[in-house]
């Protein structure tokens, strides 16, 4: 922003008053979340573990579908590959559980490279089913691996989860027993992954790749003509998402301590629920998945006992929402109030007024 | 050697069934560029409807004759009431609506009919086969299934290429806006298309239910086979879809012949290989 005549009066900004307030409030909130294991019950930690992992998966799917236009119904492929990789690294290779999570993410990314090269040949809605086929292939291949339990699955030996780096320190520091200390460790890991995923998506959307993505969303042809490499941008997003999804999958199954092909590659658990969270909260915004996961958690808590009626209700809600409010709850709120807590768009603001208030969305 | 010939024959016959699954999907792909994620579950719904009618004492053939038009009406209503509202440049709403529908149909069937496996009983026809000599025999029902797949394609091609309404279908497929300018109501064309798609699903359901056991959970796998057949065959060509179904069927039976556990995997891998070497399918027609 060099100071010539025009730039004295206008400036490009992304921060809004709401976003600054959010940022200030986020710091103590995150501190409280990190300190929570000191006084919260184990049940609460386990519930929050579920919320954080689902939130991470939702942010990642939202990045793929909402920002990059890559509507995948096959993200369970990378949850499952990450989960199985964790078992392979931790049980067969005997590595530390935390290191195994990182390596599992890397492996999921490696699987995503050939997968992307194949399914990127399919466009739009066909891409969606293509990703599903990839997930089926991963499931069927891993069900053949006898060392990992084959089709029926296997359990994580107790010594793996109790060998996490720092577990002994946590146990002594909080004077708790092994399983409680384990719950704390996986809780912190889930919180770290959720924050890391959030930061990754937020930074990515505010980078030049984010700008490229929003250009792609408007018109692929126009974006390409201004120098956006469509394939490279989408490929990068797809592989990055797979790495993070794989890490979340590894962590989920470290906590579950039991794996089977059907559980690790579950379409309902790792894709249908995730899509529901994003769609009800608001696709294409950072705030959407946060609202979505809260609503999903409440529905799950009160109605999951209804079994198949619960699933029908979720399906019905998703349909109604797609028809009447395709931008979700956050879409309705931000449209009517004009606020943005995690702004990724650049706005034009006047400097010569009392402050950065006006300006359209750009 | 004879074992292999038998395997290939079975694969082609299985391909006929997959082609029946896929034809309905191919038609809505071709005309609306719509992907129906509930396609497989709707086939299973058709099978359960036929089953419910026969359990009430209705003869099987009559049950089919009722369920086919019933599924046509369901498809018409589905498109007219739900999916036509979500048309547009954004492919997300129709995709997610059909995804939601898939979950509703699957769990609705589970709630109504339980998770037990069922079968449509056709008496002695079930095991009837034609001996071809040398110890090879082909089942009568699978053969009728392949014949039905071919008949459906002949019928649909006649509809699309020889009738006035068929011209409207093709015009809508080529360019919706121009078709609308010519006075075609694209929404009713779309509703008819979905009706045709589900009517074919009902027919496929009959052959699914008489060939093997079914339960509410098997829909998604049928969707994947159908989708693979459509993409392998090439978008916009129904004969291509038949060929695609046969490729998937052959890949599955050949895989199963080598190791029973490889049956499903080899079908999917055949699809991925075709996607790598011929991304537009074996017989591409439409550009999209």
Q: Do the chains contact at B100 and A316, CB–CB below 8 Å?
A: yes
B276 touches chain A (CB under 8 A): yes
B129 lies in some domain: no
Give Cα separations from B47 to A176, A185, B113 (angstroms).
Answer: 56, 49, 12
User: Within 13 A of A122's CA, how many CA atoms are on the CB side?
Assistant: 32
Q: Do the chains contact at A125 and B35, CB–CB below 8 Å?
A: yes
Give Cα separations from A257 to A159, A260, A271 (angstroms).
Answer: 11, 11, 21
How far is it, in rounded angstroms, from Cα B24 to Cα B194? Answer: 8
B39 lies in some domain: yes
- Rg, Å, chain A Cα set: 22
Q: DSSP secondary-structure letter at A13?
A: E
Given this model, what pLDDT does residue B286 score?
A: 55
How far is it, in rounded angstroms, from Cα B199 to Cα B221? Answer: 20
B282 lies in some domain: no
Among candidates A79, A98, A72, A96, which has minimal Cα distance to A243? A79
Min Cα separation A218/chain B (Å):
11
User: What DSSP string describes B69-138?
Assistant: HHHHHHHHHIIIIIGGGG-SS-SHHHHHHHHHHHHHHHHHHHHHH-S--B----GGGGG-EEEEETTEEE
Q: What is the residue range of B170's domain? A: 17-114+144-277
Closest chain B residue to the Cα of A217, Cα to Cα:
B90
**pLDDT surpassing 90 at residue A291:** yes
User: Within 13 A of A23's CA, how many CA atoms are on the CB side?
Assistant: 11
Closest chain B residue to the Cα of A328, Cα to Cα:
B93
Structure tokens at A140: 């069927």
Q: Do the chains contact at A311 and B34, CB–CB below 8 Å?
A: no
Cα angle for residues A174, A175, A177 (degrees, 5° grid): 110
B49 lies in some domain: yes
Given this model, what pLDDT does residue A352 score?
A: 59
User: What DSSP string describes A278-335?
Assistant: HHHH-TTSSHHHHHHHHHHHHHHHHHGGGTHHHHHHHHHHHHHHHHH-TTHHHHHHHH
Q: Do the chains contact at B275 and A136, CB–CB below 8 Å?
A: no
Number of residue pairs across A and B with CB atoms under 8 Å? Answer: 116
How far is it, in rounded angstroms, from Cα A52 to Cα A192? Answer: 9
Q: Which of B91, B220, B261 sits opposite A267 (nearest CB)?
A: B220
B6 touches chain A (CB under 8 A): no
Confidence of residue A3 (pLDDT cuts 50, 70, 90): very low
Q: Which residues, 6 or more positions from A303, have their beta carbon under 8 angstroms from its beta carbon?
A: A310, A313
Interface mutation vs chain B, best among A77, A288, A308, A327, most B CBs within 10 Å: A308
Is B264:B218 a contact under the CB 8 Å cutoff?
Answer: no
Q: Do the chains contact at A283 and B92, CB–CB below 8 Å?
A: yes
Contacts of B104 in chain A (CB under 8 A): 312, 315-316, 319
Among candidates A117, A79, A112, A82, which has minimal Cα distance to A97? A82
- Give the H or E element holding residue A253: helix A230-256
Tell me the three state secondary structure of residue A64.
Answer: helix
Q: DSSP secondary-structure letter at A348?
A: E
Confidence of residue A84 (pLDDT cuts 50, 70, 90): very high
Contacts of A309 in chain B (CB under 8 A): 107, 111
Please name the residue ranges forming H helices in A68-207: 76-87, 97-119, 124-142, 158-161, 167-174, 178-206
Q: Which of B95, B264, B272 sits opposite A71 (nearest CB)?
A: B95
Confidence of residue A220 (pLDDT cuts 50, 70, 90): confident
Min Cα separation B122/chain A (Å):
31
Given this model, what pLDDT does residue A346 score?
A: 73
Closest chain B residue to the Cα of A144, Cα to Cα:
B261
User: What DSSP string describes A110-130?
Assistant: HHHHHHHHHHTTS-HHHHHHH
The alpha carbon dihedral of A180, A185, A188, A194 has a sign of negative
Given this model, what pLDDT does residue A262 score?
A: 94
How far is it, in rounded angstroms, from Cα B166 to Cα B238? Answer: 14
Q: Using CB atoms within 10 A of its CB, is residue B287 exposed (0-12), middle (13-18) or buried (19+)? A: exposed
Q: Which of B35, B264, B288 sits opposite A128 (nearest CB)?
A: B35
User: Which residue's entry shows tokens 């658990």?
Assistant: A269
Closest chain B residue to the Cα of A319, Cα to Cα:
B97
Is B13:B179 a contact under the CB 8 Å cutoff?
Answer: no
Q: Do the chains contact at B268 and A314, CB–CB below 8 Å?
A: no
Q: Residue range A62-80: average pLDDT?
A: 93
Given this model, what pLDDT does residue A357 score?
A: 45
B77 touches chain A (CB under 8 A): no
Tell me the three state secondary structure of residue A350.
Answer: strand
Q: Do the chains contact at A312 and B103, CB–CB below 8 Å?
A: yes
B273 touches chain A (CB under 8 A): no
Q: Do the chains contact at B107 and A312, CB–CB below 8 Å?
A: yes
pLDDT tens-digit series, residues A18-55? 888 888 888 889 999 999 998 889 999 999 999 999 99
Min Cα separation B145/chain A (Å):
25
B271 lies in some domain: yes
Cα angle for residues B49, B50, B52 (degrees, 5° grid): 65
What domain count does chain B have?
1
Q: Which residues of chain B have pLDDT under 50?
A: 288
Closest chain B residue to the Cα of A279, Cα to Cα:
B96
Please give the mean pLDDT across all residues of chain A: 88
Looking at the DSSP assignment, which residues form a beta bridge with residue A18? none
The pTM assigned to this predicted structure is 0.90
Among candidates B27, B6, B82, which has minimal Cα distance to B197? B27
Q: Which residues, 6 or more positions from B31, have their beta carbon under 8 angstroms from its beta carbon?
A: B169, B172, B173, B189, B190, B193
Min Cα separation B50/chain A (Å):
23
Closest chain B residue to the Cα of A138, Cα to Cα:
B265
Q: Do the chains contact at B92 and A315, CB–CB below 8 Å?
A: no
The alpha carbon dihedral of B135, B136, B141, B144 has a sign of negative
Q: Do the chains contact at B272 and A118, CB–CB below 8 Å?
A: yes
Closest chain B residue to the Cα of A117, Cα to Cα:
B276
User: What DSSP string describes chain B?
Assistant: -HHHHHHHHHHHHHHHHHHHHHHHHHHHHHHH----TTHHHHHHHHHHHHHHHHHTT--HHHHHHHHHHHHHHHHHHIIIIIGGGG-SS-SHHHHHHHHHHHHHHHHHHHHHH-S--B----GGGGG-EEEEETTEEEEHHHHHHHHHHHHHHHHHHHHHHHSHHHHHHHHHHH-HHHHHHTT--HHHHHHHHHHHHHHHHHHHHHHHHHHS-B-GGGHHHHHHHHHHHHHHH-TT-HHHHHHHHHHHHHHHHHHHHH-GGGHHHHHHHHHHHHHHH-TT-SS--S--
Confidence of residue A181 (pLDDT cuts 50, 70, 90): confident
Closest chain A residue to the Cα of B288, Cα to Cα:
A123
pLDDT tens-digit series, residues A91-124? 888 888 899 999 999 999 999 999 999 999 988 7
User: Which residue's entry shows tokens 């006035």?
Assistant: B164
Given this model, what pLDDT does residue A1 score?
A: 45
B285 lies in some domain: no
B24 lies in some domain: yes
B288 lies in some domain: no
How far from each other are the two terminal CA atoms of chain B, in whole angstroms? 42
Min Cα separation A277/chain B (Å):
13
Min Cα separation B95/chain A (Å):
7
Q: Which residues, 6 or more positions from B132, have their beta carbon under 8 angstroms from its beta carbon?
A: B138
Q: Using CB atoms within 10 A of its CB, is residue A41 exposed (0-12), middle (13-18) or buried (19+)? A: exposed
pLDDT tens-digit series, residues A224-262? 888 888 899 999 999 999 999 999 999 999 999 999 999
**pLDDT surpassing 50 at residue A355:** no
Give Cα separations from A353 to A5, A9, A19 (angstroms).
Answer: 16, 9, 20
B35 touches chain A (CB under 8 A): yes
**pLDDT surpassing 50 at residue A354:** no
Q: Which of A121, A125, A318 sits opposite B279 (nearest CB)?
A: A121
Min Cα separation A83/chain B (Å):
20
């Amino acid at each position: 922003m060099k100071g010539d005549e025009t730039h004295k009066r206008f400036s490009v900004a992304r921060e809004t008053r709401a976003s600054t307030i959010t940022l200030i409030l986020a710091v103590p909130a995150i501190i409280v979340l990190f300190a929570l294991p000191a006084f919260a019950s184990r049940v609460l930690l386990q519930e929050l573990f579920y919320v954080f992992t689902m939130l991470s998966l939702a942010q990642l799917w939202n990045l793929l579908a909402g920002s990059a236009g890559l509507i995948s119904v096959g993200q369970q492929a990378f949850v499952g590959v990450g989960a199985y990789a964790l078992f392979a690294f931790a049980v067969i290779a005997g590595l530390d559980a935390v290191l195994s999570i990182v390596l599992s993410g890397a492996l999921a990314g490696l699987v995503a490279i050939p997968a992307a090269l194949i399914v990127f040949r399919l466009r739009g809605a066909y891409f969606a089913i293509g990703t599903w086929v990839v997930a089926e292939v991963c499931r069927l291949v891993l069900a053949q691996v006898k060392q990992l339990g084959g089709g029926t699955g296997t359990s994580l030996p107790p010594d793996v989860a109790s060998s996490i780096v720092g577990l002994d320190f946590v146990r002594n520091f909080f004077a708790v027993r092994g399983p409680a200390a384990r719950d704390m460790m996986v809780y912190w890991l889930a919180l770290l992954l959720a924050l890391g995923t959030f930061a990754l998506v937020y930074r990515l959307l505010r980078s030049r790749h984010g700008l490229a993505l929003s250009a792609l969303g408007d018109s692929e042809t126009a974006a390409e003509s201004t120098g956006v490499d469509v394939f490279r941008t989408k490929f990068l997003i797809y592989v990055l998402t797979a790495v993070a999804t794989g890490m979340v999958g590894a962590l989920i199954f470290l906590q579950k301590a039991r794996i089977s092909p059907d559980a690790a590659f579950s379409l309902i658990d790792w894709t249908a629920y995730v899509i529901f969270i994003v769609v009800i909260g608001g696709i294409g915004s950072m705030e959407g998945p946060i609202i979505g996961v809260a609503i999903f958690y409440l529905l799950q808590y009160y109605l999951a006992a209804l079994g198949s009626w619960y699933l029908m209700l979720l399906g019905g809600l998703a349909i109604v929402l797609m028809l009447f409010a395709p931008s979700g709850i956050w879409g309705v709120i931000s449209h009517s109030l004009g606020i943005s807590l995690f702004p990724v768009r650049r706005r034009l603001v006047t400097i010569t007024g009392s402050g950065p208030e006006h300006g359209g969305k750009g | 050697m004879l074992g292999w010939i038998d395997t290939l024959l079975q694969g082609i016959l299985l391909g006929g069934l997959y082609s029946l699954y896929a034809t309905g999907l191919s038609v809505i792909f071709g005309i609306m560029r719509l992907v129906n994620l509930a396609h497989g579950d709707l086939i299973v719904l058709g099978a359960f409807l036929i089953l419910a009618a026969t359990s009430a004492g209705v003869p099987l053939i009559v049950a089919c004759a009722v369920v086919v038009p019933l599924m046509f009406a369901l498809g018409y209503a589905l498109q007219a009431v739900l999916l036509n509202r979500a048309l547009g440049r954004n492919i997300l709403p129709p995709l997610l609506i059909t995804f939601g529908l898939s979950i509703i149909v699957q769990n609705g069937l589970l709630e109504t009919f339980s998770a037990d496996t069922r079968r449509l009983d056709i008496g002695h026809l079930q095991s009837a086969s034609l001996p071809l000599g040398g110890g090879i025999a082909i089942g009568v029902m699978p053969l009728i299934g392949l014949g039905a797949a071919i008949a459906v394609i002949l019928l649909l091609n006649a509809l699309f290429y020889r009738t006035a309404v068929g011209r409207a279908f093709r015009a809508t497929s080529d360019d919706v806006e121009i078709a609308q300018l010519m006075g075609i109501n694209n929404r009713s064309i779309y509703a008819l298309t979905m009706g045709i798609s589900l009517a074919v699903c009902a027919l496929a359901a009959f052959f699914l239910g008489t060939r093997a056991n079914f339960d509410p959970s098997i829909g998604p796998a049928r969707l994947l086979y159908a989708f693979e057949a459509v993409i392998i065959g090439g978008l916009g060509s129904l004969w291509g879809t038949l060929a695609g179904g046969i490729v998937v069927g052959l890949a599955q039976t050949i895989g199963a012949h080598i190791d029973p556990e490889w049956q499903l995997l080899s079908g999917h891998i055949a699809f991925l290989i075709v996607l790598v070497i011929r991304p537009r399918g074996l017989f591409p027609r439409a550009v999209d």
